[in-house]
Amino acid sequence: MKGLLALTGAAISAAALAVAAVPAGAQPAGGVGSGPSIAKEPFGALADGTKVDRYTLTSGKGVRVRILTYGGIVQTLEAPDARGRTANVVLGFATLKDYVDKNGGPYFGAIIGRYANRIAKGRFTLDGKTYQLAINNDPNSLHGGLKGFNTKVWKAQPVSGGGSVGLRLDYTSPDGEENYPGTLKTTVTYTLTKGNELRVAYHATTDKATVVNLTNHSYFNLAGEGTGGIYDHLLQLNASRFTPVDSTLIPTGQLAPVKGTPFDFTRPHAIGERIRVGDQQLLYGQGYDHNFVLDQRRPGEPTQAARVTDPRSGRVLNITTTEPGIQFYSGNFLDGTLVGTSGRVYRQGDGFALETQHFPDSPNQPNFPSTVLRPGQAFDSATTYSFSAR
> Among all residues, which ones are annotated catalytic?
217, 355
For ligand GLA, the binding residues in 246-305 under the rule CB under 6 A are 249, 289
Q: How far is the CB of 338 from ligand GLA (least distance, A)?
A: 11
Among 36, 80, 92, 106, binds ligand GLA (CB under 6 A): 106
Q: How far is the CB of 170 from ligand GLA (least distance, A)?
A: 24
Q: Partners of 210 in the beta sheet? A: 373
Assess 333 for contact with ligand GLA (CB under 6 A): yes
| Count of residues making up the chain | 390
- Residue 266 CA to residue 263 CA, distance in Å, equals 9
Assess 378 for contact with ligand GLA (CB under 6 A): no
Among 3, 33, 84, 105, binds ligand GLA (CB under 6 A): 105
Which range of residues in 94-102, 105-113, 230-238, 375-383 is near ligand GLA by CB under 6 A? 105-113
Binding to ligand GLA by CB under 6 A, coded x per residue (else -) over 136-155, reads ------x-------------
Strand order in the sheet with 325-329: 219-220, 352-357, 325-329, 289-293, 241-243, 256-257
Between residues 216 and 322, which has the closer beta carbon with respect to ligand GLA?
A: 216
Q: Are 303 and 238 in contact (CB under 8 A)?
A: yes
Which range of residues in 75-83, 102-110, 175-183, 315-323 is near ligand GLA by CB under 6 A? 102-110
Exposed/middle/buried for residue 184 (C-beta within 10 Å: 0-12, 13-18, 19+): buried
| Distance from the Cα of residue 203 to its chain's centroid | 15
Q: How far is the CB of 215 from ligand GLA (least distance, A)?
A: 9
- Tell me how many residues contact ligand GLA (CB under 6 A): 12
Which range of residues in 37-45, 51-59, 88-96, 325-333 is near ligand GLA by CB under 6 A? 325-333
Instruction: List phi, psi (to 5°) of 150.
Output: -65, -10
Q: Are 293 and 369 in contact (CB under 8 A)?
A: no
User: How many beta carbons lie within 10 A of that of residue 129, not counting itself?
Assistant: 9
- Residue 242 CA to residue 257 CA, distance in Å, equals 7
Exposed/middle/buried for residue 372 (C-beta within 10 Å: 0-12, 13-18, 19+): middle
| Distance from the Cα of residue 56 to its chain's centroid | 17
Assess 115 for contact with ligand GLA (CB under 6 A): no
Among 213, 221, 327, 356, binds ligand GLA (CB under 6 A): 327
Q: How far is the CB of 8 from ligand GLA (least distance, A)?
A: 35
Between residues 127 and 138, which has the closer beta carbon with respect to ligand GLA?
A: 138
- 179: helix, strand or coil: helix
φ/ψ region of 224 (left if φ > 0, alpha if ψ in -120 to 50, else beta) reads left
Assess 329 for contact with ligand GLA (CB under 6 A): yes
Residues near ligand GLA (CB under 6 A) are 105-107, 117, 142, 249, 289, 327, 329, 333, 353, 355
